[in-house]
C-alpha cells in the first residue's frame, strides 16, 4: 500500500539562505523525496529503519556535517545540519532524528569536549559507517536531568559503570554511545562525568526497544550497564564536568529538534494544501472556501515564524554568540506550531486524514514528541524565564 496518492509539490520558502545553502538544501530535499518517501509507510508500520537507508546517510555525507574534513566530515556549519534535519523530517521525522542526534549531540559533544586522540579515533567511524547515541535520561532522571543513578567507579586504569539508561534514541543501531554517570555522588551534579562507550565493551548491552506512538522507525531503547568496563582514555572532557557537557550540548540539540518540528509541520501542510485542491464538496474544491483558506494562511504564517526562530538560533550558534534563550524559544514554539499544523492537516483531509492510507496522521503522531524530548515545554519555559528574570 502506498500513502502517496496525490502529487505534493516541494515547498519551503528559501528563507534567508545563501545560494550555496539553497543548493545544499535542494540536494537533501531531492534525496528525501526520491529515496525516503517511498519507504516511509513500511518503515513506520514495521518500526524499523533499514540499514541500507542509514548507509545512504553516510554516503550522502550528512552524518558528519560539522566534523572537519581531516576526520572524514564535511567541515560545514551547524546551520547546514539544521537544514538537513528539516528536509529529512519534511518527509520522515524518524530519519530526521537519526541524523539530528548524530550531528547536534554526539558529534557536537566530541567536537567540543574530546581530545585529539579521541577525535582521531571516533570521528572517522562516525562519519564513515557508525551511528552514535547520547545517553543521559534514566527512569528517575528526566526533566531533573542530574538526578542520575548510574554510577562510575574509578578502578585506576578504567571505570566501572553500573546503571540503566532509558529513552535512548539510535540505541539499536549505534556503535558508539556518550553515556553520563556520577563518579562522585557526594558532590551531587558536580560528580557527573561523560564517557565514550563502544557497543562491544564488556558489561554493556542494549535492552528493550520501546513501541512508540510516533517516530516509530527511529529506535528508542534501554541501555544496561553492569560492571561496564570503560578505559580511562574514554573519559569525555574532565571528570566531574559532565553536567556542563550535557547542558551545553542539549542547548544545541534543541535547535535540531526545532528543525525537526518545522520539517514535520511543512510536510503535513504541503499535503493538506494539495489534497484541498482535489477534494470537492458543494461542486467545488474545498480550497476555494474562505474558512479553509484562512486556517491554512494562519498555519503557514505560524510555520514561517517558527522557521525563522530556528534559523536565527542556528545562525547565532555558528557566529559564536549566546543562543540559549533563542534555542529554547525555537524548540518551544516550533513544537507548539507543529502540533497545531499537523492536527489541522488531519482535519483538512476529514475521515481520510484519520486513516493510515494517507500520511498526515503520521505527521500528527510524529509531532507530539517535540514537546517532550530534549527538554519538555515546561522546561523550555523555565529556561526562558530564567534568562529574562535572573540573567
Residues designated as active site: 374
Report d(CA 97, CA 241) in Å as an integer: 26
CB 65 within 8 A of CB 259: no
Angle CA 15–19–23, to nearest 5: 90
- For 239, other C-beta atoms within 10 Å of its C-beta total 18
- In angstroms, the CA 138 to CA 225 distance is 12
Cell match 486513516: residue? Answer: 355
HEC assignment per residue over 339-356: HHHHHHHHHHCHHHHHCC
Q: Tell me the chain's radius of gyration from C-alpha atoms.
A: 21
How many residues in total does the chain contain? 391
Give CA–CA dist 289/384, Å, rounded. 39
Grid coordinates given for 353: 486524514
The H or E element spanning position 196 is: strand 192-198
- Grid cell in block for residue 377: 515545554
| Residue reference for cell 539530528 | 100
Cα 370 from Cα 357, distance rounded (Å): 24
- CA-to-CA distance for 198 and 219, rounded, in angstroms? 18
Which set of grid coordinates corresponds to residue 335? 513544537
- What's the burial of 363, exposed, middle or buried (CB within 10 Å: 0-12/13-18/19+)? buried
* Spatial separation of the C-alpha atoms in residues 253 and 334, rounded to whole Å: 14
Written as nine digits, the cell of 97 is 532524528
d(CA 186, CA 57): 43
Amino acid at each position: 500500500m502506498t500513502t502517496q496518492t496525490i502529487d505534493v509539490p516541494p515547498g519551503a520558502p528559501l528563507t534567508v539562505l545563501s545560494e550555496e545553502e539553497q543548493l545544499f538544501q535542494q540536494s537533501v530535499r531531492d534525496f528525501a523525496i526520491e529515496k525516503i518517501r517511498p519507504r516511509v509507510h513500511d518503515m513506520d508500520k514495521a518500526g524499523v529503519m533499514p540499514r541500507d537507508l542509514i548507509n545512504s546517510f553516510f554516503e550522502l555525507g550528512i552524518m558528519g556535517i560539522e566534523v572537519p574534513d581531516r576526520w572524514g566530515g564535511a567541515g560545514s556549519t551547524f546551520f547546514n545540519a539544521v537544514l538537513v534535519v528539516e528536509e529529512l523530517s519534511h518527509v520522515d521525522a524518524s530519519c530526521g532524528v537519526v541524523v539530528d542526534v548524530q550531528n547536534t549531540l554526539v558529534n557536537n559533544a566530541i567536537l567540543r569536549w574530546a581530545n585529539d586522540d579521541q577525535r582521531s579515533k571516533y570521528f572517522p567511524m562516525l562519519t564513515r559507517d557508525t551511528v552514535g547515541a547520547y545517553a543521559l535520561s534514566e527512569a528517575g532522571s528526566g526533566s531533573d536531568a542530574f538526578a542520575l543513578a548510574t554510577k562510575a567507579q574509578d578502578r585506576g586504569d578504567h571505570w566501572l559503570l553500573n546503571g540503566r539508561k532509558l529513552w535512548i534514541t539510535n540505541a539499536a543501531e549505534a556503535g558508539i554511545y556518550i553515556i553520563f554517570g556520577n563518579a562522585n555522588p557526594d558532590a551531587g551534579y558536580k560528580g557527573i562525568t561523560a564517557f565514550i562507550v563502544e557497543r562491544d565493551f564488556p558489561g554493556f548491552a542494549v535492552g528493550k526497544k520501546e513501541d512508540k506512538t510516533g517516530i516509530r522507525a527511529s529506535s528508542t531503547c534501554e541501555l544496561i550497564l553492569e560492571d561496564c568496563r570503560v578505559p580511562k582514555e574514554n573519559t569525555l572532557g574532565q571528570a566531574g564536568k559532565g553536567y556542563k557537557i550535557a547542558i551545553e550540548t542539549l542547548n544545541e540539540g534543541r535547535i535540531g529538534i526545532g528543525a525537526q518540528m518545522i520539517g514535520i509541520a511543512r510536510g503535513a501542510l504541503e499535503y493538506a494544501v494539495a489534497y484541498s485542491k482535489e477534494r470537492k464538496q458543494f461542486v467545488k474544491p474545498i480550497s476555494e472556501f474562505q474558512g479553509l483558506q484562512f486556517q491554512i494562511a494562519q498555519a503557514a504564517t505560524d510555520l514561517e515564524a517558527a522557521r525563522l526562530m530556528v534559523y536565527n538560533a542556528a545562525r547565532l550558534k555558528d557566529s559564536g554568540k549566546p543562543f540559549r534563550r533563542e534555542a529554547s524559544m525555537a524548540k518551544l514554539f516550533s513544537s507548539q506550531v507543529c502540533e497545531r499544523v499537523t492536527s489541522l492537516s488531519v482535519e483538512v483531509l476529514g475521515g481520510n486524514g484519520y486513516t493510515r492510507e494517507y500520511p498526515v496522521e503520521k505527521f500528527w503522531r510524529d509531532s507530539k514528541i517535540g514537546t517532550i524530548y530534549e527538554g519538555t515545554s515546561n522546561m523550555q519555559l523555565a529556561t526562558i524565564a530564567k534568562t529574562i528574570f535572573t540573567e
